[in-house]
A and B are shown apart, each in its own frame.
Chain A
Amino acid sequence: MHLAAILHTLFALVFAPFLLSMINRTKAIVAGRTGQPLLQPYSDLWKLLQKGAVYSRTTTWVFRAGPVVGLAAVLTALLVMPFGGARAPVAFSGDLLFFAYVLGLLRVMTVFAALDTGSSFEGMGASREVTFSALAEPALLLGLAVLARQTDSLSLSTMFAGITSDLWRGSGPALALISLAFFIVFLTENARMPIDDPTTHLELTMIHEVMILDHGGPDLAYILYGNALKLWILGSLLVGIIMPVRSGHVWLDNSVACVAIVGVAILTGLIESAMARLRLLHVPQLLVGAGVLSALALVLVLR
């Protein structure tokens, strides 16, 4: 195991909630507000961890397992995700599929826990979440297939080490197409605008928020922390493609990647300030469009 890899993982564990505050701060500045303090997500997590959990009598062990398994899944995904040119702590051939479906496990456990409450609202949210992620999955997998083909590897670590500025010069259009598709997947998976509104608390329009309504205390803290880590993981997937800086110097590569991931967070904040949420009927259209972009990139590299 590499020292740089472990360093990055610890760094992600500490700074992932900070991305959320960057998004919030961007939105506040655009709207002309002061905004919450930058450490607010940490205070929220601390507050929730101090509380006790309340469980409804209609729920079973599935409801209690949901947040724990979800957090474990997202931590596992973090272990295979390389960052800033360094190898990930765990790397094996085929770990890109492992990565995609560990995130799938997180989603399916959230959905099961939501269905376990027996609430009709949560069922509605679960149905939407599953529909949208089923449409976002082809975009992610086809995009990963493009990267695997271009770098001749089936492991995320060697794949991202292979994305260099030379590759951008050779097949720039394909990489640009999948970056765009991955950005749409990033927004969808993290329940961001224009797919889902993270600040809404109106049951009819919520997607992700509605599924975690019945969780409280430490369970909610696990879910929120897991979401922050997921934002970090998918953000570093995006940054690994659009910022092909591979100087070989650990600190330089890492700081460039950190600046880039904060840039992605600020871009997300800007999009959230500028766009309204899409109507539910139009979301599949956007996601199929992302899938088509990935498919076009695959066609370009297979030709």
Chain B
Amino acid sequence: MSTWIDLVLILLVLSDFALLGSSRLGACIRFVAVQGVLLGALTLAAHEETTSLRPVILAVLSVGLKGAAFPWLLLRALREANIRREIEPFVGYTLSLLIGAVALGSSLWLSSRLPLPTPPVSSLLVPVAFFTSIVGLFLIISRKKALTQVLGYLVLENGIYAFGVGTVQQTPMLVELGVLLDVFVAVFVMGITVFHINRQFDHIDTDRMAVLKD
């Protein structure tokens, strides 16, 4: 079943590139939702030998939260804030795509230098997990809108989740659920914050917050 895992991982990489090259916030939110569904599929594919209920619960929770609840929450915040697209990012979209290609190359190099105690489910898993995390960090630092930064945080978490699910087969379920709960609370709080920033200042450009200091 390694081909299915590879397929999911390649789709994950493609959704990362779509996030890097897309300026419409609504589309970006949907790409992150697709990533959530892909991670659910990855959880099921990676734990195929075990017959326990644990991966199924985890996959359903992951898809439900990241594929449905977060997008709904963020699309709602987007509607309240009444913005459609990222106007002027710090790094342009074409350059972002090129940086993404470089990041993919360097995460492949990095993962080839990294000895793991147990082999991951696919040789592609570690580079893709690194790449997704790097893309998340890059989105946080290169975009201006608070909403895109929330998306960057989610993508970063997706990368870490993919790494965990593919390498460590026996993570206690309590830990996984705890992480999911943390992410849920964080996104919930950030959604509310975006709404309040927008109501207070009529925009959600984080770079203009620097003028707030008294």
Interface residues of A (CB under 8 A from B): 173, 177, 284-285, 288-289, 291-292, 295-296, 299-300, 303
**Helix, strand, loop or mixed for chain B's interface?**
helix
Q: Most chain-B Cβ atoms within 10 A of its Cβ — which of A173, A284, A292, A295?
A: A292
Would B13 and A296 count as touching, CB distance under 8 A? Answer: yes
Would B97 and A285 count as touching, CB distance under 8 A? Answer: yes
Would A299 and B104 count as touching, CB distance under 8 A? Answer: yes
B136 to nearest A CB, angstroms?
18
Bound CA–CA A289/B162 (angstroms): 24
Contacts of A299 in B (CB 8 A): 104-105, 108
Cross-chain contact of A296 among B6, B7, B94, B104 (Cβ < 8 A): B104
Q: Does B161 count as interface, using CB distance less than 8 angstroms?
A: no
Contacts of B55-110 to chain A: CB distance below 8 A? 93-94, 97-98, 100-101, 104-105, 108
Interface size on B, residues (CB 8 A): 18
Cross-chain contact of A292 among B7, B100, B123 (Cβ < 8 A): B100
Closest to A297 in B: B10
Would B104 and A173 count as touching, CB distance under 8 A? Answer: no
What are 18 sample pairs from A and B whose C-beta atoms fall under 8 A apart? A177-B10, A284-B94, A285-B21, A285-B97, A288-B97, A289-B17, A289-B21, A289-B97, A292-B97, A292-B100, A295-B101, A295-B104, A296-B13, A296-B17, A299-B105, A300-B124, A303-B108, A303-B124
Would B10 and A173 count as touching, CB distance under 8 A? Answer: yes
Bound CA–CA A88/B20 (angstroms): 41
Closest to B100 in A: A292
Q: What would 9 more interface pairs be, CB under 8 Å, given A177-B10, A296-B14?
A: A173-B7, A284-B94, A288-B97, A292-B100, A296-B13, A296-B104, A299-B105, A303-B108, A303-B123
Cross-chain contact of A285 among B10, B93, B123 (Cβ < 8 A): B93
Task: Count CB-based A-B contacts (< 8 Å).
Answer: 36
Closest to B93 in A: A285
Cross-chain contact of A173 among B6, B94, B97 (Cβ < 8 A): B6
Query: When each residue 124-140 of chain B gets 1 if its CB lies under 8 Å from chain A and 0 otherwise, what string results?
Result: 10000000000000000
Contacts of A289 in B (CB 8 A): 17, 21, 97
B24 to nearest A CB, angstroms?
12
Closest to B112 in A: A303
Would B94 and A292 count as touching, CB distance under 8 A? Answer: no
Contacts of A288 in B (CB 8 A): 21, 94, 97-98
Bound CA–CA A300/B14 (angstroms): 13
Closest to B123 in A: A303
Bound CA–CA A213/B125 (angstroms): 53
Contacts of A173 in B (CB 8 A): 6-7, 10
